[in-house]
Amino acid sequence: MIIVGGGLAGLTAAIHLSQENHSVLVVEKKIYPHHKVCGEYISNEIVPYFKKLGIPWGAKGAVQIDTLQISTRNGKSTQTKLPLGGTGISRFAFDNLLYQKAIEYGVVFKFNTVVKIEHQNNVFEVITDINESYTSNITIGAYGKRSALDKELNRDFIRHKSEWLGVKSHYENDSFPENLVALHNFNGGYGGLSKTETGAVNFCYLASYKSFQKEKNIPNFTENVVAENPFLNEFLSNSKPIFKEPLTIAQISFQQKKAVENHILMCGDTAGLIHPLCGNGMAMAIHAAKIASELIHRYLSNAAYNRRQLEIDYENTWNDTFKQRLWMGRQMQSLLLNDKMSNLAIKAAIGSPSILRKLITNTHGKPIVC
């Protein structure tokens, strides 16, 4: 089978399916390791599944995080214990860890960009930018938030404007607590801070174009808008950037997507992206890979289970598992970006930390049952 995109969803599905003795080809456009725009805080709900897959989790210094801090633009803040907790690990290390594991299980990799996926007579043809083509009976689309492929597949969400921008960089800051993930609000966006396995603090923020456009570039935006939040001001004044330039991604879309398009099972962000403030996109991508892999294994080993049923089951299970979380994420994002409402919400959370814990539980899953 072919997996288009070797991020967390694609690599996890590759490991899972190769362990079930299926031959897997991953077509990924970038060689490993590489940095990605991401908050790099992953919920511990994935731990039981990684144990089952034999992925050495917690190794290589990944940081255990058990506390969440939230602040409003003017510095009102509260903290709470995270019900499940999470791990701080850079995408540079994380994706590479899964890539090495996939290689161990015999997964084949091609490093090219996929430009077309066709489906005819029950066979997929996957075509790359160097005009190589591969065929398979199953294709997983795990190529992330947005790609030229979405246009090629005529997906509905791509026609809507996406007004979000993501920026990420690593910083040296010895005084940032290891067990903390902090979410700080500013005008038109919010940023997350947490430590990674190298000891560096990852600072990743999401900003609306509307608020970014006024400042025109990242240094001005950081100084005049991001650093308005006293916590971010304090962090940026006392930290040394490690990257030469921050990494950026544009046109981040939170529109609803379909989990199956043109018979391709979409996985991870390709099927739907939760608002980053929930800190759950990576766990969802990994969980979706498990759902897809189990159903694909059933399809490939049971002649009575047909493609139509596979697609219906995948779409239904995806919706049952994630739709509520995505909805909750949308509500929380509009609350956080509204000054008046976020001040009120934080005030309420300071008075009753259980409110915040409830919101966290509603945007996260339970430990993945294996």
Total Cβ atoms within 10 A of residue 316:
11
Whose Cβ is closer to ligand FAD: residue 78's or residue 280's? 280
Q: Which is nearer to ligand FAD, 236 or 285 (CB)?
A: 285
Kindly tell me which of 127 and 350 has the beta carbon lying closer to ligand FAD.
127
Q: Which is nearer to ligand FAD, 34 or 358 (CB)?
A: 34
Q: Provide the pairing of β-strand 139-141 with 2-4.
A: parallel
User: Which residues have C-beta within 8 Å of that of residue 6, sequence separation ≥ 6?
Assistant: 14, 26, 27, 28, 32, 95, 99, 102, 109, 142
Q: Residue 35 corresponds to which amino acid?
A: H
Please say which residue, 133 or 301, places its beta carbon nearer to ligand FAD.
133
In whole angstroms, the minimum distance from the beta carbon of 45 to ligand FAD comes to: 10
CB 66 within 8 A of CB 81: yes
Helix (H) or strand (E) holding 97: helix 91-104
Q: What is the DSSP letter of 38?
A: S
In whole angstroms, the minimum distance from the beta carbon of 304 to ligand FAD comes to 31
Please state, in angstroms and rounded to a whole number, the distance separating the CA atoms of residues 318 and 272.
10
Tell me how far, at minimum, the Cβ of 305 lies from ligand FAD, in Å: 26
Residues 6+ away with beta carbon under 8 Å from 19: 53, 54, 105
Q: Which is nearer to ligand FAD, 206 or 356 (CB)?
A: 206
* 257 and 222 Cβ atoms separated by less than 8 Å: no
Smallest gap from residue 273 Cβ to ligand FAD (A):
6
Give me the least distance between CB of 328 and ligand FAD, in Å please.
Answer: 15
Decide if 45 contacts 367 (C-beta within 8 A): yes
Residues at the site binding ligand FAD, with contacts judged by CB under 6 A: 4-10, 27-30, 36-42, 113-114, 142-144, 147, 149, 166, 192, 204, 206, 252, 268-270, 273, 276, 279-283, 285
Nearest distance in Å: CB 168, ligand FAD: 7
Q: Which is nearer to ligand FAD, 167 or 295 (CB)?
A: 167
Closest distance to ligand FAD from the beta carbon of 81 (Å) = 18
Residue nearest to ligand FAD (CB): 7
**Within 13 Å, how many C-alpha atoms sit on residue 145's CB side?**
20
Rounded to 10 degrees, the C-alpha dihedral 279/10/287/144 comes to 40
Nearer Cβ to ligand FAD (8/356): 8
User: Which residue has tokens 């409003």?
Assistant: 72
d(CA 257, CA 244): 35
Output the smallest distance, CB 301 to ligand FAD, in A: 25
Q: Return the number of the residue (152 or 305) whose C-beta is nearest ligand FAD.
A: 152
Closest distance of CB 30 from ligand FAD, Å: 5
Tally: H helices and E strands in the chain: 11, 18
In 3D, which of 137, 160, 140, 147 has the Cα closest to residue 115? 147
